[in-house]
Chain A
Amino acid sequence: MTEAPRILLVDDDENYLLVAQRALRRAGVPAEIETARDGAEVFRHLGLNEPVDGHESLRGLAVILLDLNMPVLDGWEVLRRLRSDRRTHSIPVVVISTSDRPQDVQKSYELGANSFVVKRFESKDPGGYLAETARYWVELNRPPRGSD
């Protein structure tokens, strides 16, 4: 089954989404890029609010790049719900945050984040670090298909 991999960008900052999408496109990451503006939208977008077992909407989802500080549902709550849902508990989640506080990093890992990346604002190749991150999860990482 060859299906285009998908990346879900979750952030309430339009500028960030703009920069991230541009960087991913410029870097040629071979994936479809989808976005969600807050935590609640993640579950709507992935169709997780209905108790369906087929999880068609999760097919090909390579990684979720998740911001922490968001309205409605913050990143940690999203992470907690994803990890407690049998359908999503093994989907890779990378936390992207402006915070580099050790306790924030630790909490994210404790809630089941696969990686923690501090947001960077670079004057050369903005968002390049996101492209690098995404490329790893899309091209190099092999998710445990069939076991979920």
Chain B
Amino acid sequence: MSLHASLAPLRGRSPIRRRYLLPVFIALLGILAALTAWLRARDDRVRQMRSTFEAVAETNRLATARRVQIYFNAINDLGRYWQLFGLQSPDAWRFQTGMVLQNFVAIERIGWIDRDGETYRYVAQDTTETMNPAFLAQAVQHLRNPGAPNLVQLENQPILQVFFPVRTPDDSVGVLAAEVDPATIVAGRIPTDTPLLAATVRNSEGKIIYQLGTPAAGAPLTIGMKSVIPLPTGSEWTVDYEPTQTYWATMSSPWPNYFLFTGLLLSLALGAVAFQFMRLREYSGVLAAANRALDAQVRELQARDRELSHINQDLESRVAKRTAELEDTLRDLETFSHSVSHDLRTPIGTVVNMVALIEEDYGRRIDEEGLRLLGRIRANAMAAIRLLEELTQLTWAGQAGETRKAIEMTSVARAAYSDAVTGDPDPGQVRFESGELPEAIGDAALIGRVFSNLFSNALKYTRGQVSREIRVEGETGDGENTYTVSDNGIGFDPAQASRLFEPFRRLHPSAKYEGTGLGLAIAAKIVRRHGGRMWAESDGQSGARFAFTLPAEQNGNEPATDGAAFTESLP
């Protein structure tokens, strides 16, 4: 699987749909959960507040009923007290009744009126108040129609009137009249600064006798509560409890709405996070796939690498083995060639020496034909020696020169020409031209041999020409210089140019041109050993041109040297 292919799903369609699907689902789920939680929280809150409200209302109702009872008991007890002990002196009466007023703050006023309505005593919470005529008239009326203590309710006046007939020990008959403020009874200890409840008290006829607080306008009816407070007179009050505006405001406070808002936001955020997560997962999935593909490729490459290195090692060991074999063969060959040329030289040289001894010591006793035959022996032996010398040269031309130095090519070439021309039978005829040659790097002795072999060759094949010309030239090149030796001799067949440098190759009959056939081979070998090339050109009629290159810089490609193996071998 290629990396390119593994990245393709990023651009595909179906994963994108999947990328959106899950986040949207999560967001919707969150919104649903938030809504549910909001509703539940709101219900819980309403329920909680209603129960609180109901508890408060019930407590109020019980307290109210109890207070009503207490007040009536107190008034009743006062009447009984009067029946048992009489009214006593006005001051004592006022003191005792004042005590009752002080302890029962809802009692506004207490009065005593005799049956004639002429004698009366009166005490009120408001000490400046005198006897109320309406109150007096009602009490008298009640006295004339005696009965159980009764609760009288004044029209448009939230006041309870209690009339209680009394017969004192001195047989005076009157009525105890008291007025009670229902507001004080109902309100009781409800704190008025933070009223939770609004209470509407109605009498048995449905008339509102007391209104506490203001009911909230928007409060649902479910919150309200209707309760009944029985009165000692046999009638009853009904009280409607409703939440006040304050309580309703508290109850419908928007915190569940905040919760809903936060929940929705959280859901959307969760959806967004899920979206990012899906994208990341997608990318990471794709990347992981790409990674796996890469891993596989890397593993494959590593395997190939190992294989290659195995092959390489195998190849290296084979090459090393072959090289060692080749080196052995080469060493054998060079040793063979070296010892052949030297070991043969001694016996052949001895033949030459012995012929000379015979000629010198016994020459006078040998006839002309004998001397001629001896001369043939000598000539052939001398030819063999020259051949062996050339072979020796060829052998150590194969060993890289020990020195690698800048060579004064001009002087080396001129010296080589001087050497070569001494062997020529007619040197005066030769016109030798030598320009300034650029320096080269190498072994001066070996390069001198190259020049002298080329000059010998040129001298040999210009012999017999009317005017013999030999010219040596040099040319500076990039990293290597080119040197040419040209002549106006008989030249050679261009088709044979490449064979000129093979050992023992002769392109012309040896009867006419002396030589071993090794000179050019030696020269070419030396040049090759220096890292250069040698070639020859001719049109086959008018002369030949031999050229070779040599490195011009010390740090050029250093020629391989295999000379070390031979430095210890014996002559």
- Report the separation of the CA atoms of residues A118 and B346 in the bound assembly, to the nearest whole angstrom: 12
Partner pick for A123 among B342, B350, B356, CB 8 A cutoff: B356
- Report the separation of the CA atoms of residues A22 and B396 in the bound assembly, to the nearest whole angstrom: 33
Partner pick for B570 among A16, A69, A120, CB 8 A cutoff: A69
Interface of B is mostly: helix
- Report the separation of the CA atoms of residues A103 and B353 in the bound assembly, to the nearest whole angstrom: 27
Q: Is the CB of B350 within 8 A of A121?
A: yes
For A123, what are the chain B residues with a Cβ–Cβ distance below 8 Å?
352, 355-356, 378, 382
Q: Does B357 contact A (CB under 8 A)?
A: yes
With A103-B402, A121-B385 known as contacts, the answer to whether A126 contacts B342 (CB < 8 A) is: no
Task: Please report the number of residue pairs spanning A and B whose Cβ atoms sit closer than 8 angstroms.
Answer: 69
- Report the separation of the CA atoms of residues A102 and B393 in the bound assembly, to the nearest whole angstrom: 11
Q: Is the CB of B396 within 8 A of A101?
A: yes
> Chain B interface: which size bin?
20 to 34
Q: Which residue of chain B lies nearest to A99 when distances are taken between CB atoms in the complex?
A: B571
Partner pick for B352 among A74, A103, A122, CB 8 A cutoff: A122
Q: Does B168 contact A (CB under 8 A)?
A: no
Q: Is the CB of A98 within 8 A of B445?
A: no
One digit per residue, 1 when the CB lies within 8 angstroms of any chain B CB and 0 when it does not, for chain A 102-130 equals 11100100000000000111111111000
- Taking Cβ atoms with an 8 Å cutoff, the residues of A that contact B are 13, 15-16, 19, 22, 68-69, 74, 97-104, 107, 119-127
Q: Is the CB of A68 within 8 A of B354?
A: no
Q: Does B567 contact A (CB under 8 A)?
A: yes
Q: Is the CB of B348 within 8 A of A98?
A: no
Which residue, of B349, B563, B567, has the highest number of chain A Cβ atoms within 10 A?
A: B349
CB distance from B42 to the nearest CB of A (A): 114
With A99-B342, A101-B396 known as contacts, the answer to whether A15 contacts B402 (CB < 8 A) is: no
For B563, what are the chain A residues with a Cβ–Cβ distance below 8 Å?
103
CB distance from A96 to the nearest CB of B (A): 11
CB distance from A12 to the nearest CB of B (A): 10
For B566, what are the chain A residues with a Cβ–Cβ distance below 8 Å?
103
Interface residues of B in 315-345 (CB under 8 A from A): 342, 345
- Report the separation of the CA atoms of residues A107 and B570 in the bound assembly, to the nearest whole angstrom: 11
Q: Which residue of chain A lies nearest to B339 when distances are taken between CB atoms in the complex?
A: A69
For B354, what are the chain A residues with a Cβ–Cβ distance below 8 Å?
15
For A99, what are the chain B residues with a Cβ–Cβ distance below 8 Å?
342, 570-571
Partner pick for A127 among B353, B396, B570, CB 8 A cutoff: B353
One digit per residue, 1 when the CB lies within 8 angstroms of any chain A CB and 0 when it does not, for chain B 390-401 equals 001000100000
- Report the separation of the CA atoms of residues A19 and B570 in the bound assembly, to the nearest whole angstrom: 23
- Report the separation of the CA atoms of residues A19 and B357 in the bound assembly, to the nearest whole angstrom: 8
Interface residues of B in 348-368 (CB under 8 A from A): 348-350, 352-357, 360
One digit per residue, 1 when the CB lies within 8 angstroms of any chain A CB and 0 when it does not, for chain B 144-183 equals 0000000000000000000000000000000000000000
Which residue, of B355, B357, B385, B392, has the highest number of chain A Cβ atoms within 10 A?
A: B357
- Report the separation of the CA atoms of residues A22 and B357 in the bound assembly, to the nearest whole angstrom: 9
Q: Is the CB of B571 within 8 A of A121?
A: no
- Report the separation of the CA atoms of residues A127 and B381 in the bound assembly, to the nearest whole angstrom: 16
Q: Which residue of chain A lies nearest to B359 when distances are taken between CB atoms in the complex?
A: A123
For B385, what are the chain A residues with a Cβ–Cβ distance below 8 Å?
121
Give me 10 other A-B pairs in contact (C-beta within 8 A), A69-B571, A121-B350 excluded: A19-B353, A22-B357, A98-B571, A101-B396, A103-B567, A107-B567, A121-B345, A123-B355, A126-B356, A127-B353
